[in-house]
Amino acid sequence: MTTIEKEWAERVRAAAAARTPLCLRAGGSKDFYGGPLAGEPFDLRANHGVVAYEPTELVVTVRGATPLAELEAVLADRGQYLAFEPPHFGPGATVGGCVGAGLSGPRRANAGAVRDFMLGVKLLDGRGEVLRFGGQVMKNVAGYDISRLVTGSLGTLGILLEVSLKVLPRPVAEATLRFELDEASALRRVNEWGGQPLPVSATLWQDGVLHLRLSGAEAAVQAACARLGGEALAPGAAQALWTAVREQTLPGFAVEEGSVLWRLSVPSTAPALGLPGRQLVEWGGAQRWLAGAADAQAVRARAVELGGHATAFRAGDRAAGVFQPLAAPLAVVHRRLKQAFDPAGIFNPGRLYPEF
């Protein structure tokens, strides 16, 4: 164990014994996300740095508070990247926060989510034990998949000391096409394209315009552009667009006083939401953003009706619960898992669900 790990293990044991809630936090770029922050501040920033990086193994292992920007720069030097295109949401974003929040960017529907790239984790649990699960290899089925379980758990199961991620070579070529289409036609088109061997890497529909990004081998991108038509964006403009989508700096994501930015995760073929507010559609139709003052119950009910779930992503009454409530048998499993990793209930209480 490193000095930091020893010190933190002591602190966790003391907090568990005294049942002192801890608020795990590094760069604070995702403070807005999930339930309200509660507990004694626990600054994670001291634990940073790349532990191992082997470009030919397609694996990188970093300490939890390694800045996301630093990791991305290290990978870019070797022509590689995080294919799930994680949002930063602020200059302080760390890899631990990225994994803990479990958020993925525009490439998610095609390349996979953070969890799909998680290979291993070193975790400090609520008993003050340092545990390793998974590893640094692509395929590993020894033991339960705890690395993916902690992805998106918002720090409620333990402190991410180290994570190992699968990385990929950057695509050689990229192009973005623009089409004028209404929502229903755009949804149909992106789903049809999804079923064809096309190198689609992101989609965005907003206000009657569909943007489609293609990434891959030069020949494949060129062939797809020729076939699909549309209007090509200049490379600089295209890059600015997808960064603004990833970081939610496009005006469409803005949250006015009294309104909420909802994230609805639904089957890609689900019809238009039909809810009041401003909409952006990503992930080939599978991720729908809704900014406005729609009634929370109505939004959640519509998400369920469409076969998915809704998250009050920004603003709204965080204490009332940000995530879709769980079905009773799953809620029981969640409480037991929380108890298994954090028996004293000290890590980020209320950040995922008000009950724990």
Partner 1 sequence: MMLENEVLAFGETEGDFSAVDKARVIEALSRVLPAGTLMYDAEDLRPYECDGLAAYRALPLVVALPSTEEQVVAVLRICHQMGVPVVARGAGTGLSGGALPHTRGVLLSLARFNRIVALDPLARTAVVQPGVRNLAISEAAAPYGLYYAPDPSSQIACSIGGNVSENAGGVHCLKYGLTVHNLLRVRGVTIEGEIVEIGSGALDSPGYDLLALVTGSEGMLVVLTEVTVKLVPKPQLAQCVLATFDDVVRAGDAVAKIIAAGIIPAGLEMMDQPATAAVEEFVRAGYPLDAKAILLCEADGTPEEVAEEVDRVRAVLQESGASEIRVSRDEAERLRFWAGRKAAFPAAGRISPDYYCMDGTIPRKRIGEILTAIQAMEGKYGLRCMNVFHAGDGNLHPLILFDANQPDELERAEAFGAEILELSVALGGTITGEHGVGLEKINQMCAQFTTAEVRQFFRVKAAFDPPGLLNPGKAIPTLNRCAEYGRMKVSKGHVPYPDIPRF
Residues 315-334 that bind partner 1 (CB under 8 A): 323-324, 326-327, 329-330, 333-334
139/229 with CB nearer partner 1: 139
13/45 with CB nearer partner 1: 13
Q: Tell which one of 131, 225, 240, 255 touches partner 1 (CB under 8 A).
A: 131
11/115 with CB nearer partner 1: 115
Contacting partner 1 within 43-102 (CB under 8 A): 54-59, 79-80, 102
Task: Work out whether 141 is an interface residue with partner 1 (CB under 8 A).
Answer: yes
Task: Work out whether 340 is an interface residue with partner 1 (CB under 8 A).
Answer: yes
67/290 with CB nearer partner 1: 290
Task: Work out whether 228 is an interface residue with partner 1 (CB under 8 A).
Answer: no
Task: Work out whether 11 is an interface residue with partner 1 (CB under 8 A).
Answer: no
Q: Tell which one of 50, 51, 149, 315 touches partner 1 (CB under 8 A).
A: 149
Q: Tell which one of 46, 207, 307, 319 touches partner 1 (CB under 8 A).
A: 307
Quote the CA–CA distance of 188 and 288 in Å, as a whole number. 15
* Residue 258, CA distances (Å) to 27, 251, 293, 309 in order: 27, 17, 7, 22
Q: Tell which one of 135, 230, 252, 292 touches partner 1 (CB under 8 A).
A: 135
69/137 with CB nearer partner 1: 137
Task: Work out whether 248 is an interface residue with partner 1 (CB under 8 A).
Answer: no
The least distance separating partner 1 from the CB of residue 329, rounded to whole angstroms, comes to: 4
The least distance separating partner 1 from the CB of residue 91, rounded to whole angstroms, comes to: 26
Contacting partner 1 within 98-127 (CB under 8 A): 102, 108-109, 112-113, 115-116, 125, 127
169/235 with CB nearer partner 1: 169
Contacting partner 1 within 256-295 (CB under 8 A): 265-269, 283, 286-287
The least distance separating partner 1 from the CB of residue 324, rounded to whole angstroms, comes to: 4
Three-class DSSP labels, the chain: CCHHHHHHHHHHHHHHHHCCCEEEECCCCCCCCCCCCCCEEEECCCCCCEEEEEHHHCEEEEECCCEHHHHHHHHHHCCEECCCCCCCCCCCCEHHHHHHHCCCCCCHHHHCCHHHHEEEEEEECCCCCEEEEECCCCCCCCCCCHHHHHCCCCCCCCEEEEEEEECEECCCEEEEEEEECCHHHHHHHHHHHHCCCCCEEEEEEECCEEEEEEEECHHHHHHHHHHHCCEECCHHHHHHHHHHHHCCCCHHHCCCCCCEEEEEECCCCCCCCCCCCEEEEEHHHCEEEEEECCCHHHHHHHHHHCCCEEEEEECCCHHHCCCCCCCHHHHHHHHHHHHHHCCCCCECCCCCCCCC
Q: Binding residues for partner 1, how many (CB under 8 A)? A: 91
Quote the CA–CA distance of 36 and 92 in Å, as a whole number. 19
Task: Work out whether 309 is an interface residue with partner 1 (CB under 8 A).
Answer: yes
Contacting partner 1 within 198-217 (CB under 8 A): 198, 216-217
Which residue type is seen at 321? G
Phi, psi of 74 (to 5 degrees): -60, -45
Task: Work out whether 222 is an interface residue with partner 1 (CB under 8 A).
Answer: yes
45/127 with CB nearer partner 1: 127
